[in-house]
Amino acid sequence: MNNVSNLTELESIAKVMVAPGKGILAADESLGTIEKRFVKISVPSTEENRRAYREMLFTSPGIGEYISGVILFDETIKQKTRDGVLFIKVLQNAGVIPGIKVDMGTKEMEGSPNEKVTKGLDGLDGRLQEYVRLGAKFAKWRAVITIGDRLPTGANIRQNARDLAIYALLCQKAGLVPMVEPEVLMDGAHTMERCEEVSRQTLSAVFEELKRAGVAIPGMILKTNMVVPGTMSGQNVRAEDVAAATVRLFKQVLPEELPGQAFLSGGQSEVEATENLNAINKEGPFQWKLSFSYGRALQDSALKTWGGKEENVAAAQQKFLHRARMNSLATLGKYSGEVEV
């Protein structure tokens, strides 16, 4: 990138996104994903219900104290509060940076149907321009890596890494901070050691491709998984084990000039995601900020409390803010079970 003033702005936004004591709310669930969550609380996934739910989250009093940014979905970035205020404006007024999910989900990889590649590069440039006009300051693209029998393949890791690099460069040219999300999935019977190995292969390939494409590393954020065992492995690990493996991996593969990494929760429970984040930050300080970008692990209790009812909004907001505050403490390594009460 030759536009130095633009790069300076991207760098400053990236730093704010991973500011100590703050993290990012992933509210970018696709229509299919949010419908599954609404089914569990017996709420129909209508546009109005989705809008009302997101309004509950975004208007939580003091959200900006713990949340630096919010990843929005295409529908959500254009929606308004019941009083007619654009969600983008609500977030800006709270001191929260608006972002946007720009990938179009995954599809089977040609020649390896048990692996996924991400859709959305076609026409991406035009969509990025529109999101910039709407007020987005960063974007997110998720690639998923599956661990299984003879998986992942080197071809799948490389294809996802290349696509992430193309996306990231397009973002920076459009004036958006790219959030680069390679997720090694928890699904499976693999050990924590296997997760660490695949995560190392994946992140090494991703940063190789980012540098090859000319992406400015100080003007981006990483969003990746912690090193954890597969959900069906039967392997019991402590938060300290997750922290040791994750920090060891990061010290091997993350470039020093990366401003920060915001962990995905990847199916961990609310408390588990907070405990692991806290244990990781207790291993610091590091040259990069290690923060959070959680969806379910910030929203689960709030969603159940809300239940689609207007009279539950205030109580649901308190649940959301509590989880945000717990994770805020975890970014500083200052969380403990006593503060949960």
Residues annotated as catalytic are: 181, 223
The DSSP call for residue 73 is P
* Other beta carbons within 10 Å of 131: 24
Task: Report helix, strand and coil shares of the chain as percent, to nearest 5.
Answer: 50, 15, 35
CB contact at 8 A, 237 and 196: no
Handedness of CA 261, 271, 341, 307 (dihedral sign): positive
**DSSP calls for 324-341:** HHHHHHHHTT---GGGG-
Write phi, then psi, for 93 (nearest 5 degrees).
-65, -25
Torsion region of 14: left, alpha or beta (phi above 0 gives left; psi -120 to 50 gives alpha): alpha
Amino acid at residue number 145? I
- Which pairs count as long-range contacts for 128-135, CB under 8 Å and 24+ apart, including other chains? 128/102, 128/170, 128/171, 128/174, 128/176, 129/174, 131/77, 131/100, 131/102, 131/176, 132/174, 132/175, 132/176, 134/77, 134/78, 134/88, 134/100, 135/77, 135/86, 135/88, 135/89, 135/92, 135/98
